[in-house]
Structure 1
Amino acid sequence: MSFRIASWNINSVRARIGIVERLLREQAPDVLCLQETKCEDALFPHASFAAMGYPHVYPAGQRMHHGVAIVSKVALTPNNRFDWQDNGEARHVGVRLPNGVLLENVYVPAGGDIPDRTVNPKFGQKLDFLGRMTRWSEGLREPSIVLGDFNIAPLPEDVWDHKALLDVVSHTPVEVETLAALQSSHGWADLGRLFVPPPARLYTWWSYRAADWAASNRGRRLDHVWCSPEVRGSARAVTTLVAARGWEKPSDHVPLIADFDF
Structure 2
Amino acid sequence: MNKTMKIASWNVNSVRARIGIVERLLREEQPDVLCLQETKATDDIFPRELFHELGYKHWALKGQKMHHGVAIISKVEIGEHGSHDWQDNGEARHVGVRLPCGLRVENVYVPAGGDIPDRTVNPKFGQKLDFIERMTRWSEGLREPTLIVGDFNVAPLECDVWSHKALLSVVSHTPVEVDALTRLQQAHDWIDIGRTFVPAPERNFTWWSYRSPDWTKNDRGRRLDHMWVSPEAKGRVVSHRVLEPCRSWHRPSDHVPLICEVAV
TM-score, length-scaled by structure 2: 0.98
How many angstroms apart in 2 are the aligned matches of 1:233 and 1:19?
A: 32
User: Residue 84 of structure 1 aligns with which residue?
Assistant: 86
Aligned pairs, number: 262
Alignment of 1:8 with 2:10, yes or no, is: yes
Question: Which residue, 14, 21, 24 being the options, matches 2:23?
Answer: 21
Question: Counterpart amino acid of 1:157?
Answer: C
Deviation at 1:74, TM superposition (A): 1.3
Alignment of 1:65 with 2:78, yes or no, is: no
How many angstroms apart in 2 are the aligned matches of 1:117 and 1:79?
A: 33
How many angstroms apart in 1 are the aligned matches of 2:108 and 2:138?
A: 13
Q: Secondary structure at the match of 2:167?
A: coil
User: Residue 156 of structure 1 aligns with which residue?
Assistant: 158
User: Residue 235 of structure 2 aligns with which residue?
Assistant: 233
Question: Which residue, 219, 222, 225 being the options, matches 2:221?
Answer: 219
8 Å contact from structure 2 (residues 104, 146) kept in 1: yes
User: Residue 177 of structure 2 aligns with which residue?
Assistant: 175
Deviation at 1:199, TM superposition (A): 1.2
Question: Counterpart amino acid of 2:135?
Answer: M
Deviation at 1:75, TM superposition (A): 1.2
* Structure 1 segment 49-60 matched on structure 2, within 5 A: 49-60=51-62
Gap regions ≥5 residues in structure 1: none
Deviation at 1:78, TM superposition (A): 3.2
Deviation at 1:79, TM superposition (A): 2.7
How many angstroms apart in 1 are the aligned matches of 2:223 and 2:57?
A: 31
How many angstroms apart in 2 are the aligned matches of 1:5 and 1:260?
A: 8
Question: Which residue, 109, 113, 116 being the options, matches 1:114?
Answer: 116
Deviation at 1:50, TM superposition (A): 0.3
Deviation at 1:190, TM superposition (A): 0.2
Gap regions ≥5 residues in structure 2: none
Question: Counterpart amino acid of 1:255?
Answer: P
Q: For 1:191-224, what per-residue CA distance to the aligned partner results, in whole angstroms no more than 9, with x for missing partners? A: 0000000110110000000000011100000000
Deviation at 1:147, TM superposition (A): 0.6
User: Residue 184 of structure 1 aligns with which residue?
Assistant: 186
Q: Secondary structure at the match of 1:163?
A: helix
How many angstroms apart in 2 are the aligned matches of 1:254 and 1:160?
A: 16
Deviation at 1:227, TM superposition (A): 0.3
Question: Counterpart amino acid of 2:239?
Answer: A
Q: For 1:119-164, what per-residue CA distance to the aligned partner results, in whole angstroms no more than 9, with x for missing partners? A: 0000000000000000000000011000100000000110000000
Q: Secondary structure at the match of 2:137?
A: helix
8 Å contact from structure 2 (residues 60, 81) kept in 1: no
8 Å contact from structure 1 (residues 35, 107) kept in 2: yes
Question: Which residue, 129, 140, 143 being the options, matches 2:142?
Answer: 140
Question: Counterpart amino acid of 2:71?
Answer: A
How many angstroms apart in 1 are the aligned matches of 2:135 and 2:38?
A: 19
RMSD, aligned CA: 0.6
